[in-house]
Structures are given as C-alpha cells and as structure tokens.
Chains A and B, each alone.
Chain A
Amino acid sequence: DAGVIQSPRHEVTEMGQEVTLRCKPISGHNSLFWYRQTMMRGLELLIYFNNNVPIDDSGMPEDRFSAKMPNASFSTLKIQPSEPRDSAVYFCASSLVLNTEAFFGQGTRLTVV
C-alpha cells in the first residue's frame, strides 16, 4: 500500500489567503485524523472522522478552519483566511478500526507570511 498521501508537502502563502490541504488515507481504513504540530503546542488533534463523518472537531482552533471528507478516499483541511500563527506542520493519519494504530502521512509544512 502507498500509505497515507498528503499534498502539498510544502505550502507558502500570504496572510489572508485561502489554503487547502489534501489527504488520501490508506485504502480500507475507516478513521481519518488531522493533527497539527508546532514547537509551542506539540502534536494536537484537530478533527477526527469515522466512516467519513466528523466525530470530534473540538480541536479545530477557530471558524477559519474547516475539514471535509466527501468520500472514503479523500479529505481536505481548509484555512480561510490564513494567518501567520497557522504556520505549522499538518499531518493526516488513518486507521483501520477504532483503537488501533494510526498511520501518518508525511505532513504538509505550511508557512503563512
């Protein structure tokens, strides 16, 4: 299997612009997660889908952040408008069933200037 695939790997954008991060989970996995990694806050969960349905989005920092999972093989995380404090590495992960290990993509390094 190709693993979790994220795109783009790097994104540099100007403050105020819309940013869309993409994720393709491992085929057959029914849980998908978006995490953010920063030096200050470490790894934090943003949102979690199970069978394409958002289960917990309490980690989404503000209304500027939104996530969708239109089908089992694709998810997006959108930031609109972006701000410099959104600069971080965003990871997507998927797992087969509940309470099993999650496999992570290579991450998207977002820089907002």
Chain B
Amino acid sequence: AQKVTQAQTEISVVEKEDVTLDCVYETRDTTYYLFWYKQPPSGELVFLIRRNSFDEQNEISGRYSWNFQKSTSSFNFTITASQVVDSAVYFCALSERNAGNMLTFGGGTRLMVKP
C-alpha cells in the first residue's frame, strides 16, 4: 500500500532563512507520481508541483526547489530566502499509475515564517 510520511509536523524560521520540508514515500508500483500542495491560512489547497517516478531531475521554480531521490524514496521541498507569505501547511502526496489520480497525502508540515 502507498504511504507518505512528513516527519516534520511544524517548522518555524525567521524571514530570509532557507528551509527544507522532508517527504518520504512508500509504494510498490514502479510508475508513480509525487506532488506538493500548499494550504495557506485561507484554507484552499494550491498545487505546486508534480514529478513522475521516471524523471529524477531536480526542479527549481523561483525560490522553490525540489529534490527527488528514488534511492531514498524522498521528495524534499526547499524554500530559499523564506518570506512571511510562505507561512502555510505544505502537503506531499503520491499517486500510483494503477490507482488513477487517487492521491495519498502525508500529514502535512506547518511552516511558520516570522518577520
């Protein structure tokens, strides 16, 4: 069965610090998809990124970067020079090829960025 673990339940940093959110997953499928979503205080879930299991290339988007390592079953998310607006709960999620788009979410990491 698929499982996503976000061991950090809460992280607090000061603005401009870099912060890495960890995500470890378990799956038996050889083809799977990994996602990160952001849930700001307003409550909606905002899609950030999707990675395919056959593409381990890291990705950078502005201050955000993602490090996908199949060898350790990890898909970590780094925010560089954090800002107060980054304060939110961040969810890592997994879907298996044979399970359609049925996302299994981790428990989330609450990030608090203080001015």
Which A residues lie at the B interface, using CB under 8 A? 31, 33, 35, 42-45, 48, 50, 55-56, 89, 91, 93, 95, 98-107, 109
Contact = CB atoms under 8 A, between A and B. Distances in A.
B33 A91 contact: no
Contacts, number: 58
B50 A45 contact: no
Contacts of A100: 50, 101
Interface of B: 33, 35, 37, 42-47, 50, 91, 95, 97, 100-108
Contact residues of A: prevailing secondary structure: strand
Nearest to A48: B102
A89 B91 CA distance: 16
B103 A99 contact: no
A33 B22 CA distance: 26
Given A91-B45, A106-B43, A99 B95 contact: yes
A50 B104 CA distance: 18
B101 A31 contact: yes
B101 A99 contact: yes
